[in-house]
Amino acid sequence: MLVSAGAGWWIYNKLDGNITTDTGAAAELKVYEKERPTPVAMDAQNILLIGSDSRAGDNSRYGRDDGGSQRSDTTILLHLAADRKSATAVSLPRDLMVEIPACRTGDDKETRERFGQFNSAFELGGTACTIRTVERLTGIRIDHHMVVDFNGFKDMVDAVDGVEICLKEPINDKDAHLELPAGRQTLNGEEALGYVRARKTLGDGSDTERMERQQRFLGALVNKMQSNGVLLNPTRLYPVLDAATKSLTTDPGLDSLRDLYDLVRSMRDVPTDQVQFLTVPRQPYRNNPNRDELVEPDAGELFKQLREDKPVAVVPADELKDAEKGTETETGAGGDGEPDAAASESPTPTPTYSGSSAADDLCEQ
């Protein structure tokens, strides 16, 4: 019994010690507390997930180490409903043009407020600058954040024995080191990393397609963890937590194994069809088609729903297009050329966004 207790204590301390605490970001956010949004919904959580493209250390195999400079390769705003009956993950394009506040750099200098690409905020002022940029953009208070690098993502996929995806077309991508036939495929960590990061050689080469691919993969990962009982089985959960925590940097509110375990347990009963993924409504930036800008009022309405902890309706892109066509027909002009009075008096419908859920199966669509 003593041996068992000792082993358990060793495992706990090992996992707990894996996590890196981002005390610098916490300190800077306190300095700017007065300008930050206030929490609105009790028990709802807004967590900023950042995939770092740092090439330092073990990540150097994925590109040149540029002296410590890094940008956010992937950024997702995860909203957990207060009742824990839904989770909404909103991808923020790295090429989105946004207002970036004045931020402190690593050498304790301060940058000027600027208008630029979203992912440059991480390069300029790290996590704190990214959080403040997101809060300024959305009006949503970020409660916690997690930063994971390439190796952390890869090891998590391997810890669950790979993740199954469905390919509509075969992939032969030398840059991503992928050669896969169409249909159902189970990707290991290295293959998964190439699949979610490739941009110019998969699909139509757009960042939009890349983000959709990331969302589908994350949905498949969530589905794998829930369907295989990983979240309920400590023996199966340990290698996942070990892989996740090795390359994880969090705020002080999530920097212990107990904090992470409580967070994971709170999500275990969320139905997979209510784990939803979407990209913030955006369009090509008017001054540069290679950049993005928000589509209003759609983006503003989405942020409002999240702030107020209201359900967000997400459907596949083709279904949304069909629905919009139907709405245009139903709300068209009457026989006299004037708008239908009944239609004009009807309440504004709840917005629906293009996206996917963890329950979606691309092979069956």
> What pTM was computed for the model?
0.85
Question: Does any domain span residue 26?
Answer: yes
Q: What is the pLDDT of residue 91?
A: 95
Question: Does any domain span residue 56?
Answer: yes
Q: What is the pLDDT of residue 71?
A: 62
Q: What is the pLDDT of residue 269?
A: 85
Q: What is the pLDDT of residue 67?
A: 46
Distances (CA, A) of 233 to 226, 236, 241: 11, 5, 12
User: Could you please report the per-residue DSSP string of 147-192?
Assistant: EE-HHHHHHHHHHTT-EEEEESS-EEETTTTEEE-SEEEEE-HHHH
Question: Does any domain span residue 213?
Answer: yes
Question: Does any domain span residue 348?
Answer: no
Q: What is the domain-level CATH number for residue 68?
A: 3.40.630.190
User: Could you please report the per-residue DSSP string of 241-306?
Assistant: HHHHHHTEEE-GGG-SHHHHHHHHHHTTTS-GGGEEEEE--EEEETTEEEEEEE-TTHHHHHHHHH
Q: What is the pLDDT of residue 170?
A: 87
Rounded-to-integer distance, Cα 280 and Cα 292, Å: 11
Residue 141: both structure tokens together: 């208070």
Q: What is the pLDDT of residue 1?
A: 44
Q: What is the pLDDT of residue 258?
A: 86
The count of domains in the chain is: 1
Question: Does any domain span residue 350?
Answer: no
User: Could you please report the per-residue DSSP string of 124-148?
Assistant: HHHHHHHHHHHHHHH-PPP-EEEEE
Contact (Cβ atoms closer than 8 angstroms) between residue 133 and residue 124: no
Count of residues making up the chain: 365
Task: Give the tens place of pLDDT for each residue, 93-116.
Answer: 999 999 999 998 877 788 999 999
Residue among 120, 119, 125, 121 at smallest CA distance from 104? 125
Question: Does any domain span residue 324?
Answer: no
Q: What is the pLDDT of residue 341?
A: 52
Task: Give the tens place of pLDDT for each residue, 263-312.
Answer: 888 888 899 999 999 999 999 999 999 999 999 999 999 999 999 999 99
Rounded-to-integer distance, Cα 282 and Cα 298, Å: 9
Question: Does any domain span residue 362?
Answer: no
Which single residue is written with the structure tokens 């297009």?
321
Low-confidence stretches of the chain (pLDDT < 50) are: 1-5, 55, 57, 59-68, 329, 331, 333-335, 343
Question: Does any domain span residue 146?
Answer: yes
Q: What is the pLDDT of residue 257?
A: 83
Domain enclosing residue 252, as ranges: 2-312
Q: What is the pLDDT of residue 351?
A: 80
